Chains A and B, each alone.
Chain A
Amino acid sequence: MEIRSGEFKKRAVFAIHDASLQQAMGKARDGFVGKRAQQAAALPEFETLREEAKNLKNHILENLDHYLERYEAAVTKAGGQVHWARDAQEARAIILDICKRVNAKTVTKGKSMVSEEIGLNEALIEHGMEVVETDLGEYIIQLANEPPSHIIAPAVHKTKNQVSDLFEAAHGGPRKTEVADLVNEARQVLREKYFRADVGITGGNFLIAETGSSMIVTNEGNGDLTQTLAKVHIVTSGIERVVPRLDDASLFLRLLARSATGQETETYTTVSTGPRRAGDLDGPEEYHVVLVDNGRSKMLAGRFREMLRCIRCGACMNHCPVYGSVGGHAYGWVYPGPMGSVLTPLIKGLDNAYDLPNACTLNGRCASVCPVKIPLPDLLRELRHMQHRQALSPLMQRRALKAWRFVATRPKLYHAGEWIAVRVLKLLGRKGSIRRLPFAQAWTDVRDLPTPEGQTFLQRWQAQRGK
């Protein structure tokens, strides 16, 4: 997927004025936030689990090489094959090779953000394959020819009405308007695709080192059909998703559903280990895992290691007031919201996503709900620091910071400046506030500026009490 994060501002403004988007976002935001809060409150050990999950992830990341090697050995032992992809291009090439070798015509896909990250669909389609997204949300946006706007609810920006339109156009009507009818219609269409599929591609929520298994979590069961009914099952996953034992996955599962959708558990949690064994009634003939690095080992070595704890629940974006205002597409690449504002510059380059770390009030709500306690605001600030050092921030901003530092480190000068500003602003005020202020229109275009009282606090204090 081509990166368009450079257009963040433009796309954000567009989104704010998109009535359908605002309607869809408002509904989703309230649902996700309320349900998560209920689940967190209902589980006394929830906060303890967050701390445990953070510590376990840290342990895994410290020993990532060890667990990945163990995982590969276990996958091989179970009859599967692990492929290592350094970047998106290598990952696409590996998957294309497998698909071409088995002469794949139809490829079904369960939900996988890594496949979005590596631009897989475009590559498969370019090579003449039919690609069918089987997650309902992914299916909707595939029909709309749009990228996902949320990592677990890819079509969260669509209203029911828009989905009705899309389905009517794609399926030939009659137009359905009830949610149950829409779901049923998609199910009928997709069912036939599962049986036709040569290759089924899924993500992997967790990779179990002990058993060589991949684990997926869905609410629709589409992932199960994708990975069981195709001749070849390919798992795409980031290298950071490995956990030591099956037991460890259960810790994350308890946090994942509660944080993501506000459910105690998702409807389907499915474990796959290798291809079909002799005597199995179903299952793929081949089982492949494509482990994608794509910038992750660089994160592991540097200041952004904590970002690799992410279990892709989406709670940060559900609780982000900026994401809630502009939706996921404004962010211009695969991962939106707070986690995306950290990942996108790290994967795609700091200069390709200047606005992402900056378009944040550092209000900290994301970190307060993150199930693995990633300090997202601190990481965003660190990215700003890198941008500042690499002179990627606007020249005006760097000059202003220089001037501010010069004045603010000279208290007498600073206080004189405040003294003058207060007087000038007082002259401009009418009825307690200033409606329009040249050079500060970004403030006054949106809101009045309260008029100062005429003297600074320090002046008045010193006048009243002496030094």
Chain B
Amino acid sequence: MIDSTGKRPRVGLFATCLMNMFRPNVGFAAAKLLEDAGCIVEIPGTQTCCGQPGYNSGDFDAARALARQVIAAFEPFDYVVGPSGSCMATIRHDYPVMFADDPDWLPRAQALAAKSFELLSFLHDELGTDPAGTRYAGTATYHDSCSGLRGLGVKGQPRQLLARVESLRIREMQDAEVCCGFGGTFCVKYPEISEKMVEDKIHNIIASGADTLLGGDLGCLMNIAGRLRRVNSPVRVFHTAEVLAGMASGPGIGGHAQESR
């Protein structure tokens, strides 16, 4: 990644709301992976949310207000990278659509979209990261989060990266590509439907025989982990970045110390 002049790329890390509040470890793991690959990582303090909650609730004005804030905060960087397919798909796909009729902001939205990446695909496709030497003892199954999968084409990259991790086996579950029922505000607007969907999801996770669930989006992972805890399942849940960075030693998302091995 370091170009011929020896200049290291400056990456603005998009600190997603859920990561910032519930799982700082994912942010540190992301920073470590990016720095190990030769990037300079900075985290602008003027960032808040990408605006997706407003956009998906039909409040396009609010979404644009947030988008302008993100664009301004991250414009100076060579790349914007976030540990979430959902937030990064919003920046990559939705920002240019939001400003389609705004000649002042459209070029800025497009420029930001073009240099914005979901973390795992950025590591694999752009940085050529090889996590060989990292270790995770266990059998994991992978949940493909919808926005990353269908919005950004994230499917093979995390699996190829994880295949290099020592002592880690991947066992695919049935319907890995089916939504877990999180869907942002959907999970609290339609809790019964969400429950049915996440119940189907953990059924497939448990049936896979894996002891660990991995994914690339904290919304889905918190939803699934929360349901696994509710039914007292011992399956541990981590963001893929935590495993790749060798920082998945604790009890996992929603777990507690006694449960970890």
Contacts and interface: CB of A to CB of B under 8 A. Distances in A.
Tell me, yes or no, whether A binds B: yes
Contact of A418 (B20, B150, B229, B257): B20
Contacts of A460: 24, 28
A360 B191 contact: no
A405 B190 contact: no
B246 interface: no
A405 B194 contact: no
B83 to A, nearest CB: 10
A462 B42 CA distance: 10
A101 interface: no
Contacts of B181: 321, 361
B48 A448 contact: no
Contact of B46 (A385, A411, A433, A452): A411
B53 A404 contact: yes
Contacts of B182: 361
A455 B24 contact: yes
A449 B226 contact: yes
B38 interface: no
A362 B183 contact: yes
Given A409-B69, A411-B48, A450-B222, A393 B57 contact: yes
Interface residues of A, number: 65
Nearest to B182: A361
A195 interface: no
Contact of A457 (B20, B177, B187, B254): B20
Given A325-B193, A326-B193, A411 B21 contact: no
A1 interface: no
A442 B43 CA distance: 33
B43 A461 contact: yes
Interface string A451-467: 11101111011100001
Contact of B254 (A322, A364, A433): A433
B249 to A, nearest CB: 14
A244 to B, nearest CB: 31
A387 B58 contact: yes
A414 interface: yes
> Interface centre among A415, A447, A450, by most B CB within 10 Å?
A447
Given A448-B226, A456-B21, A443 B188 contact: yes
Interface in A289-315: none
A322 B146 CA distance: 14
Contacts of B189: 358-359, 442
A446 B190 CA distance: 11
A322 B24 contact: no
Do most interface residues of chain B lie in helix, strand or loop, or is the interface mixed? helix
B20 A12 contact: no
A388 interface: yes
A436 to B, nearest CB: 11
Contacts of A180: none
Interface in A319-359: 321-322, 325-326, 358-359
A467 B184 CA distance: 31
A23 B179 CA distance: 20
Given A401-B54, A432-B251, A447-B223, A411 B45 contact: yes
Interface string B242-261: 00000000010111111100
A389 B177 CA distance: 33
A446 B191 CA distance: 7
Nearest to B63: A405
Do most interface residues of chain A lie in helix, strand or loop, or is the interface mixed? helix
Given A364-B146, A365-B150, A368-B150, A432 B227 contact: no
Contacts of B223: 447
Contact of B196 (A9, A16, A451): A16
Contact of B57 (A16, A361, A397): A397
Given A322-B197, A442-B187, A448 B254 contact: yes
Contact of B59 (A9, A388, A462): A388
B27 interface: yes
Given A321-B178, A361-B146, A453-B23, A433 B56 contact: no
A251 interface: no
Interface in A392-424: 393, 397-398, 401-402, 404-405, 408-409, 411, 414-415, 418, 421-422
Given A363-B179, A404-B53, A467 B45 contact: yes
B60 interface: yes
B254 A450 contact: yes
A389 B49 CA distance: 22
Nearest to A384: B58
Interface string B17-31: 101111111111001
Given A363-B179, A452-B22, A433 B226 contact: yes
A245 interface: no
Contacts of A384: 56-58
Interface in B34-85: 43, 45-49, 51, 53-60, 62, 65-66, 69
Interface in A128-163: none
A157 to B, nearest CB: 15
A365 B179 contact: yes
Contacts of B251: 432
Given A365-B146, A365-B150, A408-B66, A450 B22 contact: yes
Contacts of A13: 192
A4 B239 CA distance: 42
B216 to A, nearest CB: 14
A450 B256 CA distance: 10
A447 B226 contact: yes
Interface in B140-199: 146-147, 150-151, 177-179, 181-184, 186-198
Nearest to B191: A442
Nearest to A401: B59
Nearest to A418: B21
B125 to A, nearest CB: 21
A414 B48 contact: yes
Contacts of A385: 58-60
A2 interface: no
A368 B147 CA distance: 12
Given A393-B57, A404-B62, A443-B188, 14 more contacts: A325-B193, A358-B189, A361-B184, A362-B146, A362-B183, A363-B179, A388-B59, A405-B54, A411-B46, A440-B188, A446-B198, A448-B254, A453-B22, A461-B27
Give me the 6 closest cross-chain CB pairs, A-B, nearest first: A361-B183, A447-B226, A384-B58, A432-B256, A388-B58, A450-B254
17 contacts: A325-B193, A325-B196, A325-B197, A358-B190, A363-B146, A365-B146, A388-B57, A401-B59, A408-B48, A409-B48, A418-B20, A431-B258, A442-B191, A443-B226, A457-B28, A458-B43, A467-B45
